[in-house]
Amino acid sequence: MSVVDQFDIDDCIEEEPLLEYVCNMVYTHLPDADFDAEGNGMLMCSLNGLYTFVQNYNQGTIKTNFTYNDYMNGDEEDKNIQLILKAFNIDSKKFWYFLLFAFDFAYTNCVGGLVAKESPAGQMKKFVKAIDDNSTGKINGNDIEFKQKATITLKIGKKSIVIDNNTAIYLMASLCDEELNGLKTGSVLNSAKLEESNSKDAPNYARICLFTKIMIDFFKQYVVDKPVKNGDKIASLNKFTFISKLIYLTGIYNNEDWLYGDEHLKSCYREFKTKTQDFRFNKYSAMWH
């Protein structure tokens, strides 16, 4: 199989067989509205989105760490994509262009270097546990008895307020615990703040989740039968493990641990998939939903 150097963008590009997977995913994530001959509204593949991908491809601006040669000739068990595609009965030629689309769509629609800060609830739980672990459960005079001396310091600018009364500290922890016990789904206390990071090694959670979402939708549409190894040496046919490999191999996140399992991806996806829509540019005219 040889890779296409340039697609003819003026020649009914939506009918190009090699772009079947791309077209269907563009239809899923970037639907356009139009009218048929009878004036009835209908959804169709966004030609703007498709043209954007083809233009990026033709101009050579889609830069992954995963070359076409790597894709076709992975010689290591954990990097051999072809055996996995065969087991899933996925067309290898079409998937190459879809992989580039998924990478480009996620890469260009999400800002880079996002890291998650601890949620308010997370910090409160740590505080409550620390005080609870340090409490003897006894009262000495008018004060709660602690195993070790505890103080809380609040800094506001150059000023500091020190709280060293055991009862005050214990009461603060109790109030936090009471709030946590009544915490509802969707509470702002569960929201982890995403901030930009200067570290090149920091995972871009928005990008990872958007790429994962596209891949999951692809599997729902194209992989309906149970994968078959056919005697090939494949470490795992778990879909999340496969997506995790692609995230590493394409360079979306350069942590080699992602080659060998899906724990990191699942944890990341559960935590941040609902926040992906807050971190996007409009290069593909995306209406992410």
Q: What would the two tokens of residue 79 be?
A: 């990097």
For residues 101 and 234, membership in a common domain is answered with yes
Read off the pLDDT of residues 129-163 as tens digits, 9 standing for 90 and up: 999 999 988 887 788 999 999 999 999 998 999 99
Assigned domain for 283 exists: no
**Strand locations in the chain, DSSP E?**
31-35, 41-45, 114-116, 135-140, 143-146, 152-156, 159-163, 194-196
For residues 90 and 129, membership in a common domain is answered with no
User: Residue 249: its pLDDT value, please?
Assistant: 87
Cα separation of 142 and 145, whole Å? 9
Assigned domain for 6 exists: no
For residues 143 and 224, membership in a common domain is answered with no
For residues 184 and 202, membership in a common domain is answered with no
Assigned domain for 108 exists: yes
Assigned domain for 5 exists: no
User: Residue 235: its pLDDT value, please?
Assistant: 57
Phi, psi of 118 (to 5 degrees): -65, 140
For residues 94 and 25, membership in a common domain is answered with yes
Phi, psi of 35 (to 5 degrees): -125, 145
Assigned domain for 162 exists: yes
> 19-23, 90-94, 124-128, 249-253: which range is least confident on average?
249-253
Read off the pLDDT of residues 59-103 as tens digits, 9 standing for 90 and up: 988 888 888 888 888 656 556 788 888 888 899 999 999 999 999
For residues 42 and 29, membership in a common domain is answered with yes
CA neighbor of 48 nearest in space, from 67, 31, 62: 31
CA neighbor of 181 nearest in space, from 118, 119, 124, 135: 124
For residues 182 and 200, membership in a common domain is answered with no
Q: What's the total number of domains in the chain?
A: 2
Cα separation of 269 and 101, whole Å? 20
Assigned domain for 3 exists: no
Q: What would the two tokens of residue 119 be?
A: 């949620």
For residues 208 and 99, membership in a common domain is answered with yes
User: Residue 286: its pLDDT value, please?
Assistant: 41
Choosing from 190, 219, 243, the residue where a domain stops is 190
Chain centroid, CA 234 distance in Å? 25
For residue 50, the enclosing domain spans 13-115+194-278
Choosing from 174, 190, 206, the residue where a domain stops is 190
60 backbone φψ class: left, alpha, beta (φ>0; ψ -120 to 50): left
Mean pLDDT of 44-72: 80
For residues 143 and 220, membership in a common domain is answered with no
Read off the pLDDT of residues 202-250 as tens digits, 9 standing for 90 and up: 457 778 888 998 999 999 888 866 766 665 556 567 888 899 989 988 8
DSSP assignment letter at 77: G
For residues 78 and 125, membership in a common domain is answered with no
For residues 110 and 199, membership in a common domain is answered with yes
Confidence (pTM): 0.61
Mean pLDDT of 39-57: 69
Contact 102, 30 (CB under 8 A): no
Choosing from 166, 190, 214, the residue where a domain stops is 190
For residues 85 and 175, membership in a common domain is answered with no
